[in-house]
Amino acid sequence: MKYLYLVNYWVPFPSSEYGGLIAVVAENDNQCHDVLIDWRDECESSYDDRIQENVYKATRLMLSNEEDEEIGIVDSFLT
């Protein structure tokens, strides 16, 4: 089973002025976390401890055509 995770951006102000939202297709929280770790910019690594908490708080939507969806980032909006 795959889910669409809507994860709030974890980098605080002033590094991220207004935050953002990242849409991730993943099978579970751990996979979503790993996708986000691989995706994030290396200069943001000091905030890695915030990613898992935001994954747990994320809205999850079950995908009906999960075979068609690849694991990974679908879209993002960051400030």
pLDDT, one tens digit per residue, over 1-11 is 899 999 998 87
The dihedral formed by the CA atoms of 66, 4, 59 and 61, expressed in degrees to the nearest 10: -30
Tokens of 42: 């290396």
Give the Cα separation of 69 and 71 in Å (integer). 7
Expressed as residue numbers, the domain containing 50 is 3-78
**What is the structure's pLDDT at 43?**
67
Predicted TM-score (pTM) of the model is 0.86
pLDDT, one tens digit per residue, over 17-67 is 777 899 999 999 999 999 999 998 776 788 889 999 999 999 999 998 766
Number of domains in the chain: 1
Query: At 75, is the pLDDT very low, low, confident or very high (cuts 50, 70, 90)?
Result: confident
